[in-house]
Amino acid sequence: MAVKSTHLVSVKHRISAGERARSNKHRGGVLWFTGLPGSGKSTLAVETEHKLFNNGRQAYVLDGDNVRQGLSSDLGFSHDDRTENIRRIGEVAALFADAGFIVITAFISPYLKDREIARQAAGAIFHEIYIDSDIETCERRDPKGHYKLARAGKIPEFTGVSAPYEAPESPEFSVDTQNLSVEECVDELVQYIDLKLVG
């Protein structure tokens, strides 16, 4: 018995990315959506996840709904807290991609520097996707009524109104939600993902 238990040493032979990709028939990757409030990040993330899932992919969305009340429940919306929130999401997204998932993150993530930190966590499998719409269009949509509250001074540090949004300088991909329908945007996104992560 004592002899047996000495066999309990760490081998640490993890499943490789290649092994997971062969099994899933696609690689893992981080699709990092960034854009103004109301640009369509969350809608497009969830709709793209659906289409990927229906195509047999392992896909998952990280967004405010499943992160802000859990992992980041200790954080607010100050600059430092936003930075820490994005850092954590970057690390979690990297874990999901390592596990073979196509993970889509849907957060404003307004600062270039924060997005760079997220990119570093995932490495080469990080894809910055600009969900592109001008602020007038976003404000007209105002799906959650937040622009209205921000203009009335009731939400402090609201991106686009009282806090900056730094648009991507050279995103891997972008979709024009100002001029395309949801369906058209999702089609473009799935095409891009298939190109990069499948086959």
x/- track of binding to its own copies for residues 68-87 (CB under 8 A): --xx--x---------x---
Is residue 42 flagged as an active site residue?
Answer: no
Instruction: Quote the DSSP letter at residue 176.
Output: E
Contacts of residue 99, defined as CB under 8 A and 6 or more positions apart, other chains included, come to 20, 28
Considering only residues 125 through 184, tell me which ones interact with its own copies, judged by CB under 8 A: 133, 137, 140-141, 143, 177-182
Reported residue count of the chain is: 199
58 scored as a contact of its own copies (CB under 8 A):
yes
x/- track of binding to its own copies for residues 105-124 (CB under 8 A): ----------------x---
94 scored as a contact of its own copies (CB under 8 A):
yes
Burial class, 77, CB count within 10 angstroms (exposed 0-12 / middle 13-18 / buried 19+): middle
Size of the site for its own copies (CB under 8 A): 60
Burial class, 33, CB count within 10 angstroms (exposed 0-12 / middle 13-18 / buried 19+): buried
15 scored as a contact of its own copies (CB under 8 A):
yes
Give the nearer residue to its own copies in terms of CB position, either 84 or 166. 84
What does each C-alpha distance from 198 to 97, 135, 177, 190, 195 come to in angstroms? 14, 34, 25, 10, 6
- Least distance in angstroms from the C-beta of 117 to its own copies: 11
Dist CA 60 CA 76 (whole Å): 24
Dist CA 25 CA 5 (whole Å): 38
Q: Which residues bind its own copies (CB under 8 A)?
A: 1-2, 4-15, 19-20, 23, 40, 42-43, 46-47, 49-50, 53, 56, 58-62, 65-67, 70-71, 74, 84, 88, 91-92, 94-96, 98-101, 121, 133, 137, 140-141, 143, 177-182
Which residues are catalytically annotated?
109
